[in-house]
Every structure is written in structure tokens, then in C-alpha cells.
Amino acid sequence: MASLNLVHGRQSLLHSPDSTMLFRRPPSHPLSNYSFSTSSGFHTRTLARFSPGILVCRISSSRGARSNRSRIRSASVQRVTEELTDDESKDSLISGDSIRQRFLDFYASRGHKIIPSASLVPDDPTVLLTIAGMLPFKPIFLGKIPRQVPRATTAQRCIRTNDVENVGRTARHHTFFEMLGNFSFGDYFKKEAIQWSWELSTKEFGLLPERLWISVYEDDDEAFEIWHNKVGVPFERIKRMGEDDNFWMSGATGPCGPCSEIYYDFHPERGTADVDLGDDTRFIEFYNLVFMEYNKKDDGTLEPLKQKNIDTGLGLERLARILQKVPNNYETDLIYPIIEKASTMANISYPSADEQTKLKLKIVGDHLRAIVYLISDGVLPSNIGRGYVVRRLIRRVVRAGRSLGIKGVEGAFLPIIAEKVIELSNHIDSDVKIRASRILEELKKEELNFVQTLERGETLLEKMLVDALSNAKKSGTVPCLSGKDAFLLYDTFGFPVELTTEIAEEQGVTVDMNGFDIEMENQRRLSRAAHNVVKLAVEDGANLTDTINETEFVGYDTLSTQAVVESLTVNGSPVIQVSEGNDVEVLLNRTPFYAESGGQIGDNGFLYVTGSEKQQTAVVEIKDVQKSLGDIFVHKGTIKEGILEVGRDVQAAVDAKLRQRAKVHHTATHLLQSALKKLISPEISQAGSLVAFDRLRFDFNYGHALTDTQLEEIERLINDWIEASTFLKTKVMPLRDAKEAGAIAMFGEKYGEQVRVVEVPGVSMELCGGTHVSNTSEIRVFKIISEQGIASGVRRIEAVAGEAFIEYINVRESQMKNLCSMLKVKAEEVTTRVEKLLEELRTSRNEVADLRTKAAVFKALMIANKAFEVGTSQKIRVMVESLDDVDADSLKVAAEHLIGTLQDPAAVILGSCPGEGKVSLVAAFTPAVVDLGIQAGKFIGPIAKLCGGGGGGKPNFAQAGGRKPENLPRALEKAREDIISILSEKES
């Protein structure tokens, strides 16, 4: 259901909960256990994941009274220190969740306000995604808004994709990571920041001081003095570094300052001479302290800031790696369970896998975290902006998983592995579980769509690469894929050029990126020159938000209004005029159109332009309305008549019939939630919804399927409420008052100080910005059409109401009439007649299968004399033949019969083309052949590949399939050559 911050309003930049705790105190027992193995040189162990605040060692997990906390923490420090100094002692690990909570607790006890993580989609228009912990506070640092608290601490979710190619190749690169930070807004400065960072590292987490190295800016004598004289770090372990490494700038001008970093030394035995802190084999930087004390002016000079700030960042994954004593960030309990899930699905042992296999598993583990949290924050796959980031990451994971042999359910494996990411999300972002159904649905849809494209594109790319290698060999040049070919893959098959480059590099082929850029520009130029597209382009759309105000929404009170066209966009580019036949995005100063939000789809309707004599001069059909950059409504449609220009007055009219359908379904959704809470469980909560013109969909958290009786009771109760003809009440009130009144809030939604409350008196009260009927009688009737599980612990109900119910019944009545006509029975006799037909069909199929089997056995008898012998000391009978159009099951029976006829030792390889575009293959080996070290499963795979397929099986028997029947003769000839060669070699 829709949420609203003062009727389509904006949420505040920073929201601070009343409590200083970000997470609720969890129970003291472990949440789950994972088998945890690491590579050479590190322990192999069972890793237990614990709730935040619990140190995994033999001390009390209570974190109650302050008087007990110091005792527990001193024990923690002692135990961790022992772990880090005694490799022979029993492992005692700290969970990632524990590290996060202890960091927040540490700074909360020092006067910092715990602020929840901001979304991965930032309010800052200058960046695509939240890339750093300080980003939500940037307006405060820049002086654009006043500080709300003097000190803050966060565990901020972050995304960076600039180094995506390094993911899995290094021990520390990620696309998704958590940045733990403490911030001071004109409060404390260097001394406190440095001393607390040292106390946190050495006392709270027990890192040995002699393993920590410090970097400072080359001219920052103050920081050097604090580290050496106040903290006690020896001169030789404090390194002065230049501007590139240790001076932070927000941009060409503005706030800036030196920074200081803490490094952990994995190999202190290497000494202190000629140390390079950039040596990843020895050091890892895990804590960065930025001292914002200057303002950089236009001329490049620095002037002291009146308000000096502290911005710090501690990498959670990096510290977890250190404390959990694993060789890289991927093998911490934050990521490894995802890798382990993927390994299991690929039937691979991660510890014993080669480096290339580990790389692919790390890509799956890392990228899926980024993908799940991005989709949860509302970023859906697309070809532009943030959506392209998600799509690119998904495609990298799909390709990695497929190359590992991971198979899923119904062709998709991402949702299965993503369930593990969601399971691990409790203390990172609790909203992820609430949105699980939508996340899994998007992943499945995107994966299946990409697999189809991938198979077509991969075939073409494979041919292109073969040609490139062949041409290079002939000419003696470096193999290169032309920019034109790369653009064809991008434009026709949706291949990101980065993916093309990655696949090409694996084959030793480069990609002509200059040529690709030229092709891309040619396409843009052709688009600009296309007939009837735009008359005149305007300035870059980056400045659009500077001139366009938020859209005034009047759609609660009216379905038609006069408005002014403030902006037009075609294919993402701002224009001032659009002519007939073109798709366009229109921004108005006011609108009656509801923009998609809270599960309710956007309105449809028309924009009308009238001339001086009130004659209609242009018509725009609106098919969708979306929100952009807060409360700017984007009307997406097509110019049906005339020309639309910026600045013109239009009559904006919503399709009243479709709006009524949406209103009916939205109010019905509220009634459905109330009925579920009343009849099934008061603990049920919404996990997602869709309010469309033709149906409604409601996802909710519940662990069991609803029975037919329960569904009937829900329907009956809702229809009773409809029949009661109750008038709805809608009002705007303070959020606190709404919650005290009992209004249901959508879990995970962010609300402003003022909210809209929709109430069906005595039945339902929810925070909602959607459109609703004025009286329940307008709904007319409610009918559930399906109930199913969509994820672990999440159910989905689909239903229809009002006019959509009439359509639903009419369609099914028409279908029933057709059935009755075809079956020549009455409606009440259809079920009995269908059951009888199904039984007859089953009997017929069994008879056909028996006949096919007998025919296959007969064919096997006819060709048994075609077997030939291989070997000298041991005569091995071999048969490689085609059985024409025999189906796969019958082919298997024929092979088994031949093996029995030929007797041990024998090898049988058969093929057939059971249908158009289908190939079936089977390999059967007797025990004596298997004892020679020849396995049917491994033998049949390369043969099937020649037919455009694959397969496998056991050492003595394997089946495979393909899509290229025309290649079967060549494949069988290859099988004949290979089996003779292998048997001759093994037998001799």
C-alpha cells in the first residue's frame, strides 16, 4: 500500500530514531552455523554466526548493565589478543554482526547518535549511488543544512563499481560493503578522533599495537604528534605520505583536509625497513580518519574552516577478515555463506577449488550482495543509470554461475542463492526480508531474460572471436574484435560492452573501444536526425532540476485540471517541441494523475492542447506516470495528434474508469490485510503489493499455505464489509498521532512528520498515499483467484474486485461454454468427463511408450551384428550407431539391451533425432571398460557439445542432448574415433 510524506511529500534528509540503538538486542543463542574452510596457512574451522554484541568465546554473552560491560569487554580483549598472538590456540572468532554492533555501541557510549544506514540511492544528484559513509552527511559538511546532532555514528551500506574487474582477484575489493563511521560536526577534532580510533582498535577489538601502522599527511605535524606523543606509536611505524594518498577533497573547491589511516600488519616479522604500506601481501588499511579543517578556494589556496569536522570510515569486511583470521574478505562470515551456497549448487568444494573457480565463486558472493540490496532499495534492472549497474552485475553473476555449472529451478539459480543473502540481512537492513518476494521475482525475471539473450549472443560472439583469432594469425597482428561487432552485440543482443570485453580477454582478444564509441555516436546522430523526433534540443538535462519545481498533485480532489508544460524529454534528452507519433515524457506544474507508488500503478489518460478558438490542436495519450527526483511527476505517453511544446497550457484528464478500478482494488487491498490479521494471525505484515486496473496482489509474511476454508472465510468477511456500505475517512496528521491512533505503517517505509491516513471505520486504518473509494459499496464484490508461496515465509494472494471481477467471471464463463461444446456435456459434467479423458490419455501414453521400447529393442537386435572389436590382449566389443528418430527413453533401453547382448567388456554409444531441433545421445560401458579408467559421463559431454548441447551421468551410463540434429553424423563419427583411440591406448 502506498505510503505518503504529507501527500506525495519528501522525506527528511536525516532521520534519527528516538533510541540510540540501531538494532534491537538479539537473543543470546547462535542464529546459524556454517562449515567454514580457508585456504592454506589458515585454520579449517566451523564458524558460528552470532547476533550483534556477542563475542564468540567462553564468556557471558550478556550486554546488560554498564557495570558488567567493562568486565565482559576486558575478557573479550584478552581473549582476542590471545587469538591474534597464538595461532595454536583454539579459534575464537567475532562475527561480522558483532563487530558492527560493538562499533556503534563504542561511539554511542561516547555521545554519538546512532543513525540508521541511508538508502543506496542517495539524495545527492551528483553521485549515482551511495559510495561512502559520509555521503548522507555531505549537506552538513558543505554547510547547506544545519547539523541535527553534534556527533553521529553509522553502519552505512555502500556500492562502488569502479573496480568491479578486481572483485575476487584481490583480497579486499567489493561492489557492496559496509562502512562503519563516526562523525563530528564542529564538535571534537583530531585528538579525540585519533585516540578513540586507537582505543577501539586495540582495546575494544584487541588488536596488538605492534601490528598497527599509521599513515599521516606529509605536512600534518599535529596528527603525527598526537599519534606519537599522545597514543605512543613509535616513529618508525608512522609514515608521512603525499597528497594523493592522505589528503581528502570534496571537489575542485570546498571543504577538504588531511587524513590519517590505520593499517594492520599481517607479517611484522618482515621488519620496519623500507616498508611500503601499499603492499597488499603484508598490510591492509582498515580505518581512515579525515580531518576536514580547510576550505579550498578558486585560486587553489587553503583557508581554515570555521567549523572543523571529522569524517571516518572503518571497513567492516576488512576488520572481520583481520579478527576472523581468514586470508581475504570473502571468507568472512559476511560473505562466505553465500559462496558456500553457490559451491554446493555447483557441486564444488571451495577450499580445494582452483583459483579461477574461486574467482567465479567470489564474484557470485560479492555481486549478489550488491544486487539484493540495490533491488531492495528500489533499483530495478534497466539499460540506464543505476538500473544498468544492477543489470551489469546480474549478468556477471549469471555468466559466472553458468560457467561453474550451477543449475537452478525453472532455469534460474539467482533467487536460490539470493535467499542466503536475504537470510544474512537481518542486522544490515531489516527491510530486505520484507521485500524478499519482489527481490526474488526481479532476479528470476532478469536471469531468464538474459539467459535467452546470452545463448544467442554467446553463439555469435564465439564465432566473432574465432574469426578475430583466425584473421590475426593470418596477418600476424594482435587479435582484435571490431567496434562494429561489439556494438552489434550491445545494440541487438543487450550485451554490455564490459561483458564482451571480459569474454574476449579470456580468449586473448582485445576490443576496439574507439570503434565502439564511434558506432554509439553514429546511432545517437541517426536518432537525432530521425523524422518527426524533435525540433530543437535544449541544454543538458543535468540542470533540469534547477528549473523544474515539484509537481502539485490535485488528483485526490479532481480528475481534470488545467496545467502548464514545464519540460519535455525524448529518449532521455530534454527538448522544447515534440511532434505526432513520438513517445515523450512530460512534466507539468500540476497534475491530477497519480504517479506509481506504494504498489499502485500510475494513472492513464490524456493531455489536450486547444487553440485560440478552443479547437483541439494536440492530443497526448498518457500510459504511465512515475515519480522522479522526489516529487516531480513524469507523464509518459505518445503524441497522438499535433505538436506539443514547452510552455503550452494543457487540459490534463485522467481516465475515470481506470482510476475507479485502481481505487476499488486499493481499498480492497486494505480490507484484505485486515481480514488476514483478523482471521489468520495478527502478526501478519505486508511484504509487497500491486494495485492494478485488472487485479490486486498482496504479499504477506506467513509460514503456511492457506486452506480453501480459510480463503472462503476471508472472502466472506471482506464481502460483508463491502456490503456494510461504510464511508471511508481520509486525513493528514502528525506521524506520532497516526501511530498512537493505531494506523498501520508499511514496514521499512520512510515517513515525514505529516502523513495521510486512510480509515475504514471499525475495519482498517493505514498510512497510505493511494487513491480510494469513498464508500466500501463501490467495491461491489471481492474474489480471491490464487494463493501461493513465493519465498520462504512469504505468501501471495491475487484477487479481483468491482468491474475486474465481472470481466474475470465473463472470461471463465466463456471458457466453460467452449469446454461444454467441445466435450458435448453440461457444465456440471465437465470435471467427470475431463478425468475420464485424462485416464484414457495416460493409458494411451503407456501403450505408446511400450511400443516405442519394443521398437527400440527390435532395432537394437537388428544392429547388434554391427559391433566391432578393439584391442589385442582383451577383445572389447564396441558399437557406435544412430537409431534414427528413437526417443531418449527408448534409446536408453536399446543401449541397456545391447550391453546385455554384447556382454563384458563392451562399450555402446547411440544417437538419435527424436524431433525437430532435438538430439539424444547415450553412452553405456560395462564394468571392465570402466575399470580401464573410462567414464561414460565424461566421454559423452564433448560429443554432445558438437550437437549444440551437453549432458553427463555415471561412469557406466550417461545421457546427453543437443539442438543441432544436422551435426549428429559428425558427432557419432567423432565418438567412434575417440572410443577406438582411448580403448586402444588403455588396453595396451
d(CA 101, CA 373): 20
Amino acid at position 349, single letter: S
Confidence class for position 470, pLDDT limits 50, 70, 90? confident
pLDDT at 748: 44
Res. 128 pLDDT band, cuts 50 70 90? confident
Q: What are the start-end ranges of the H helices in 697-829?
A: 708-723, 735-740, 803-823
Question: Which residues contribute to the annotated binding site?
Answer: 666, 670, 768, 772
Under 8 Å between Cβ of 233 and 260: no
| 3-state helix/strand/coil string of 213-278 | EEEEECCCHHHHHHHHHHHCCCHHHEEEECHHHHEEECCCCEEEEEEEEEEEECCHHHCCCCCCCC
Of the pLDDT bands very low, low, confident and very high (cuts 50, 70, 90), residue 613 is low
Residue 755's alpha-carbon distances to 381, 434, 663, 929, in angstroms, are 30, 21, 19, 76
Task: Express each pLDDT in 879-903 by its tens digit.
Answer: 999 988 888 888 999 999 899 888 8
- 3-class secondary structure, 579: strand
Three-state SS for 449-473 is HHHHHHHHHHHHHHHHHHHHHHHHH
Rounded Cα gap, residues 223 and 229, in angstroms: 10
Tell me the per-residue pLDDT of 60-78, one tens digit each, with 9 for 90 and over. 333 333 333 333 333 333 4
Report the percentage of the chain scoring pLDDT > 70.
86
The Cβ of residue 166 has, within 10 Å, a number of other Cβ atoms equal to 11
Report the pLDDT value the prediction gives residue 84, as an integer from 0 to 100. Answer: 43
Least confidently predicted of 388-397, 473-482, 531-540, 670-679: 531-540
pLDDT band at 80 (very low <50, low <70, confident <90, very high): very low
Sorted by where each begins, the domain ranges of the chain are 89-330, 336-472, 561-654, 659-811, 863-985
382 and 391 Cβ atoms separated by less than 8 Å: yes
pLDDT of residue 640: 95
- What is the model's pLDDT at position 59? 31
Q: In which band, very low, low, confident or very high, does the pLDDT at 50 lie, cut at 50, 70 and 90? A: very low
Which residue(s) pair with 180 in the sheet? Answer: 155, 314
Instruction: Count Cα neighbours of 392 within 13 Å in the Cβ-side half-sphere.
Output: 21
The answer to whether residue 117 scores a pLDDT higher than 60 is yes
For residue 832, pLDDT over 60 is answered with yes
Q: Are strands 113-115 and 151-159 parallel, antiparallel or unpaired?
A: parallel
Which pLDDT value is given to residue 752?
A: 67
The grid cell for 780 is 461491489
Bigger pLDDT: 209 or 387? 209
Q: Which candidate, 956, 919, 961, places its Cα nearest to that of 937?
A: 956
Q: How confident is the model at residue 794 (pLDDT cuts 50, 70, 90)?
A: confident
Per-residue pLDDT at 916: 87
CB 908 within 8 A of CB 923: yes
Beta bridge partners of 587: 567
Q: What is the pLDDT of residue 525?
A: 59
Q: Is the pLDDT of residue 572 over 90?
A: no
Core vs surface per residue 828-863: b (16+ CB within 10 A) or e: eeeeebeeeeeeeeeeeeeeeeeebbeebbebbeee
Q: Is 329:172 a contact under the CB 8 Å cutoff?
A: yes
CA distance 605 to 721: 31
**CATH topology classification for 863-985:** Diaminopimelate Epimerase; Chain A, domain 1 (3.10.310)
* Residue 874 confidence (pLDDT): 79
Q: Which of 88-97, 131-140, 265-274, 303-312 has the lowest mean pLDDT?
A: 88-97
Spatial contact of 756 and 7, defined as CB atoms under 8 Å apart: yes
Dist. CA 130–CA 122, nearest whole Å: 6
Asked whether the beta carbons of 584 and 570 are under 8 A apart, the reply is yes
- Indicate the CATH number for domain 89-330: 3.30.930.10
Contacts of 303 (CB under 8 A, 6+ apart): 294, 295, 297
* Domain 561-654 CATH class label: mainly beta
What residues contact residue 68 under an 8 Å CB cut-off, 6+ apart?
A: 60, 62
CA torsion sign for 816, 817, 822, 826 is positive
pLDDT band for 547, please (50, 70, 90 cuts): low
Say whether pLDDT at 112 is over 90.
yes
pLDDT band at 7 (very low <50, low <70, confident <90, very high): very low
Contacts of 655 (CB under 8 A, 6+ apart): 603, 604, 605, 606
pLDDT tens, position by position, 586-596: 999 999 999 99
Take residue 797 and report the three cell numbers written for it. Answer: 494472494
* CA distances for 523 relative to 76, 536, 537, angstroms: 62, 18, 17
- Which residue positions form the known binding site for Zn(2+)? 666, 670, 768, 772
* pLDDT score at 751: 65
Of 807, 785, 582, the residue nearest 697 (C-alpha): 785
By the 8 A CB rule, do 76 and 85 touch?
A: no
Residues 6+ apart with CB under 8 A from 512: 480, 481, 482, 483, 486
Between 238 and 5, where is the model more confident?
238
Per-position b or e across 769-807, b if 16+ CB within 10 A of its CB = bbbbbeebebbbbbebeebeebbeebbbbebbbbbbbee
In the predicted structure, residue 947 carries a pLDDT above the cut 70: yes
The domain over range 659-811 is classified in CATH as 1.10.420.10 = no
Q: What is the pLDDT of residue 793?
A: 73
pLDDT tens digits, 708-735: 999 999 999 999 999 999 999 999 998 8
- Stretch 103-109: mean pLDDT, rounded? 97
Angle, vertex CA 354, rays to CA 265 and CA 371, nearest 5: 75
Q: Distance from CA of residue 812 to its chain's centroid?
A: 37
Specify which residues 16 forms β-bridges with.
Answer: none
- What confidence category does residue 790 fall into, taking pLDDT thresholds of 50, 70 and 90? confident
Stronger pLDDT, 848 or 530, i.e. the higher one: 848
- Asked if the model's pLDDT at residue 675 lies above 90, the reply is yes
A 10 A CB-CB count for 815 gives 10
- 628 to each of 125, 190, 582, how far by Cα in Å? 11, 40, 21
Which residues face 797 on adjacent strands?
Answer: 698, 787
- Averaged pLDDT of the chain: 84
| Cell output for 199 | 582505543
- Per-residue pLDDT band for 925 (boundaries 50, 70, 90) equals very high
- Backbone Cα Rg of the chain: 33
Confidence of residue 47 (pLDDT cuts 50, 70, 90): very low
Lowest mean pLDDT among 1-10, 139-148, 520-529: 1-10
